[in-house]
Amino acid sequence: MHPILFVGIAGYPARVVKLMTYSGPAAADAPGTRTGGMPYAPSDFEWPRCRECEGPMQFLAQVSMADVELGGVGLFSAFMCQNDPGLCDEWDPRAGGNRAFIFLADVTGTLPPPGDGVTLLDETCAVDFEQVDVEDYLDAPEQWCERSGRSAREVLGQIGGRPAWLQNDETPSCDICAHRMTFVVQLEEGHDHRTSMNFGGGGCGYGFRCHTCATAAFLWQR
């Protein structure tokens, strides 16, 4: 079942929100959409390092584009420096403290992390998808909690649709073609503070892609 789309504000399509919800622990090499674990990547891919501290970044999540859009191909993957949290401008899409990638048909398997730095989350989380009939993602967790009887902490984010900004709209433009990027995923910090991502304590991460150039970008707000 696919949600109905119609033209909304700020150039984004309004739609039924597609929530990502916690579905228990997963294997570190589980295929498809998940948070944590090891990234699927091309055989010649090199683990990204922070431009500021030069340490390897932490792998946050991968999202199957087939889960985001009908006929979607490839994986979106996000990394962020956690070697010196807050010191490497990891919230900015261009400062060098995070990286995002679109991997297409050249993905061959999972990539083990380098031996130094903070590279993996403490838990790999499987993801379920739940459609909630609201226009704004910020209204969706409460409705889902009422319907499911589960905690709002088990909402891991949303995919597709439009971002729900905690501050101003910071949709990035592609570095190659300069066109406004398309929203892929909004990530919450996680269901358990002991194993969660670090978006400043209560923030959200935002992932984008350029369909034309197969580039990607990531940032977070709090």
- What pTM was estimated for this model as a whole? 0.92
* CB contact at 8 A, 122 and 197: no
Lookup: tokens for 208: 């984008």
- Provide mean pLDDT across the span 182-196: 96
CATH number attached to the domain at 25-126+163-221: 2.30.320.10
Distance CA 83, CA 118 (A): 6
Q: How far apart are CA 120 and CA 39, in angstroms?
A: 10
Q: For 78-123, write each residue's pLDDT tens digit.
A: 999 999 888 899 999 999 999 999 999 789 899 999 999 999 999 9
- In the chain, where are the structural domains located? 25-126+163-221
Name the residue type at position 76. F
Cite the beta strand spans of 124-203 per DSSP E: 125-132, 155-159, 182-187
CA distances, 96 to each of 82, 93, 185, 191, 200 (Å): 12, 7, 20, 27, 17
Task: Return the bridge partners of 34, or none.
Answer: 62, 126
Q: Rounded to 5 degrees, what angle do the CA atoms 30, 18, 98 make?
A: 60
Query: Helix H segments across the chain?
Result: 65-68, 140-148
**Location of structure tokens 């903070």:** 118
pLDDT digits (tens, 9 = 90+) for 173-185: 999 999 999 999 9
